[in-house]
Amino acid sequence: MLFCASCGIAGGDDIKLKKCTACHLVKYCSVKCQKEHGPKHKEECKKRAAELYDELLFQQPESSHRGDCPICCLPLPLDLQKSILMTCCSKYICKGCNHANKKREIEGKLQQKCQFCRKVSPKAEEEKNERLMKRIEANDPVAMCHLGGKKYIEGDFKSAFEYWSKAAALGDMQAHRQLSVLYHNGQGVEKDEKKELHHAEQAAIGGSPMARNNLGCMEWQNGRVDKAVQHFIIAAKLGDDRSLENVRDLYKVGQ
């Protein structure tokens, strides 16, 4: 039987106990009991919450944040240049599938269409941008992240920050990684190490090997080699070559 950590009352059909959401170690019968027990529980709670976060942070993701190509169902390459965004449906298609579809259309003298949603392909850049904006109006995080990237290349860092912030809030891991870069470089925002770390960790948890490699470099620079190695190995398993090179370099110097 479970009891309230503050008043000791037993949980039952009439009394529902709720877990401490930070550590999951204790339960309370009311908000009042939780507040009263807070000073006693604070140290233990903080320690366990940090342990739980580390467990989450150092868990090996099943796949990278990029996911699979919706046509061939193979993992999308980490190199963004090896896939193409369909602005009509915000799906990334690997360039192999894109090439195969174009070849089929040319040989069969068929109308060019999106491989995924089958909409007619846009003929002009203006139409592509219109479709992208429609996806953004529909709160599509992939489209927001993509436009943020275009703004960044143009040097409009404030607009890039706005689009990436909205995309990250909707769960886009690539946007989290890009925000980490902005906070590191102080582009469009003030430099902020805490926010840089937060967004890098969120991206890493979501499967971004590039963000994971950056975290490993941070830990290495701070002398926490054990954690750096963990980050590098997780990223290397996701296909990040730089992380593999970093692991090799650590072995070279015997760390």
Q: Return the pLDDT at 43.
A: 92
Q: Which two tokens stand for residue 110?
A: 């068929």
Calpha distance 222→232 (Å, rounded): 15
Mean pLDDT taken over the chain: 93
Which H/E stretch holds residue 178? helix 173-185
Q: Return the pLDDT at 232.
A: 97
Q: Return the pLDDT at 255.
A: 65
Tell me the C-alpha to C-alpha distance, in Å, between residue 106 and each of 101, 103, 163.
Answer: 9, 5, 36
Q: Tell me the pLDDT tens digit for each residue of 37-96.
A: 989 999 999 999 999 999 999 999 999 999 999 999 999 999 999 999 999 999 999 999
Residue 10 pLDDT level (bands cut at 50, 70, 90):
confident
Q: What angle do CA 219, 223, 226 make, to 5 degrees?
A: 65
Helix, strand, or coil here: 23? Answer: coil
The fraction of the chain above a pLDDT of 70, given in percent, is: 99
Q: Which two tokens stand for residue 232?
A: 């590098």
Tell me the C-alpha to C-alpha distance, in Å, between residue 86 and each of 52, 75, 80, 220.
Answer: 38, 17, 13, 39
Helix, strand, or coil here: 213? Answer: helix
DSSP β-ladder status, 18-19 and 83-86: unpaired
Q: Tell me the pLDDT tens digit for each residue of 196-219.
A: 999 999 999 999 999 999 999 999
Across 147-162, average pLDDT: 96
pTM of the model: 0.87
Calpha distance 176→167 (Å, rounded): 8
Cβ contacts of residue 128 below 8 Å, gap of 6+? 87, 122
1 pLDDT above the threshold of 60: no
For residue 229, give the nearest of 203, 200, 207, 251 by alpha carbon.
251
Helix, strand, or coil here: 87? Answer: coil
DSSP 215-245: HHHHHHHTT-HHHHHHHHHHHHHTT-HHHHH
